[in-house]
Amino acid sequence: MDTTQLLKGVLDLAVLAVVADEDGYGYDVVRRLRSAGIEEVGDASVYGTLRRLYSSGALTSYVVPSDEGPHRKYYGINAQGRAMLAAQRKDWQEFAGTMARLLDTEGSR
């Protein structure tokens, strides 16, 4: 199954969940998503999602100097982002439960 379309629908939720655990810069967020099992996530998609979530007020950002290259822009979750994460988590759990019931029902026919 090509999970690309599924990922588009839940990338905001996945990024919020990753940043809720610990602030991170773009590639760090990509790396954490991939290590969690979302290997097909694209760098550009994550960077765009971070910028959009920041613009919508769900994330804060700050710059940290780096001795190994350019400064890194870190993103952290704020109260609005935590509320968004909680709402999306609830929606996802309800949807996943519905799909699980549907698939279990379909499998028993």
Residue 109 within any structural domain of the chain: no
Residue 21, in any domain of the structure: yes
Tally of structural domains, the chain: 1
Each residue's pLDDT tens digit in the chain (109 positions)? 677 777 888 999 999 999 999 999 999 999 999 999 999 999 999 999 999 999 999 999 999 998 888 899 999 999 999 999 999 999 999 999 999 999 997 655 5
How many CB atoms within 10 Å of residue 14?
20
Residue 60 β-bridge partners: 76
CATH number of the domain residue 82 falls in: 1.10.10.10
Is residue 72 within a helix (H) or strand (E), and if so which, with residue range?
A: strand 72-77
The model's pTM is 0.87
Residue 25 maps to a domain: yes
**Which structural domain range is residue 33 located in?**
3-104
